[in-house]
């Protein structure tokens, strides 16, 4: 029986004890070794209603004086003493509609607030705010197109696909390099998304504990949350929660 070229390659390398790597492996290795960000300002005190943090800003490596790409910010609460429990970390994707305007279509704003509160209460941790990841990476305009489809009954995953866009195009190499620059190697990660675990771990960071980031659903986002749980593998606990009934009933 004839085998494919890839299968034949794997068979040959296994027979002769030779290493092999796929194109995806090589791209991943290059991303791990490539410098994705650099600091772009001094650390400054950032008082918030949740407590006082130190803000660190990052950007893609500059080309002369030109900054190309998105700038990101990390809010740091203290440094863990030697031998202490790994710090609490939240890697938060930018969501203008939820974080700024308080949209009820998603749970992004409440998750951001909850993370800052939890880090302040814990006394140590990092809130990393990654910009350029609006709508799971599709951008604000495309997100509005997806919302329009959702108002016709399409769920958040299929809306992206019908637009010819990925269900989730975010990558976490930038976030991983920022955390490493801040001295974070081990962490307790606040997230419901398993993709973040593998995305960060692929860059040499160690997640010692997953800390759930559950917030109460509302009639406008319950369908969206159910889609994330049932179709995208998010670790939510939506049994016996309210049924959809809000405008659109879904979100990005």
Cα distances (Å, whole numbers) of residue 225 to 20, 97, 148: 40, 16, 18
Distance CA 170, CA 72 (A): 14
Long-range contacts of range 242-248, CB-CB < 8 Å, 24 or more positions apart?
A: 242/217, 242/218, 243/219, 244/219, 245/219, 246/104, 246/218, 246/219, 246/220, 246/221, 246/222, 247/151, 247/220, 248/105, 248/147, 248/150, 248/151, 248/220
Distance CA 207, CA 186 (A): 6
- Centre a 10 Å sphere on the Cβ of residue 55 and count the other Cβ atoms it contains: 17
Q: Judge contact between 251 and 225, C-beta under 8 A.
A: no
Task: Indicate if 63 belongs to the active site.
Answer: no
Q: Which of 105, 168, 188, 250 is catalytic?
A: 168
Q: Which of 170, 188, 226, 250 is catalytic?
A: 170
Distance CA 232, CA 251 (A): 14
- Give, to the nearest 10 degrees, the angle between helix 194-201 and helix 173-181: 60
Q: Judge contact between 112 and 92, C-beta under 8 A.
A: yes
As a whole number of Å, the CA-based R_g of the chain is: 20
Task: Indicate if 10 belongs to the active site.
Answer: no
209: which 2 tokens? 């504990």
Residues carrying an active site annotation:
168, 170
């Amino acid at each position: 029986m004839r085998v494919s070229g890839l299968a034949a390659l794997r068979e040959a390398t296994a027979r002769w004890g030779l290493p092999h790597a796929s194109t995806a492996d090589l791209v991943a290795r290059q991303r791990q070794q490539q410098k994705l960000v650099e600091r772009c300002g001094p650390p400054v005190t950032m008082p918030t209603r949740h407590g006082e943090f130190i803000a660190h800003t990052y950007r893609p490596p500059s080309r002369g004086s030109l900054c190309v790409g998105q700038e990101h910010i990390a809010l740091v609460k203290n440094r863990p003493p030697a031998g202490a429990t790994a710090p609490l970390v939240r890697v938060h994707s930018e969501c203008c509609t939820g974080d700024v305007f308080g949209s009820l279509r998603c749970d992004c704003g409440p998750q951001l607030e909850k993370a800052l509160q939890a880090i302040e209460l814990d006394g140590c941790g990092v809130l990393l705010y990654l910009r350029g990841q609006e709508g799971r990476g599709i951008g604000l305009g495309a997100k509005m197109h997806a919302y329009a489809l959702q108002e016709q009954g399409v769920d958040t995953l299929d809306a992206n696909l019908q637009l010819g866009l990925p269900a989730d195009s975010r990558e976490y190499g930038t976030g991983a390099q920022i955390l490493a620059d801040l001295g974070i190697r081990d962490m307790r990660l606040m997230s419901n998304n398993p993709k973040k675990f593998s995305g960060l771990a692929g860059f040499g960071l160690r997640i010692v504990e997953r800390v759930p980031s559950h917030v109460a659903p509302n009639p406008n986002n319950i369908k969206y949350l159910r889609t994330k749980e049932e179709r995208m593998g998010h670790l939510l606990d939506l049994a016996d929660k309210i049924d959809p009934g809000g405008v659109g009933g879904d979100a990005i």
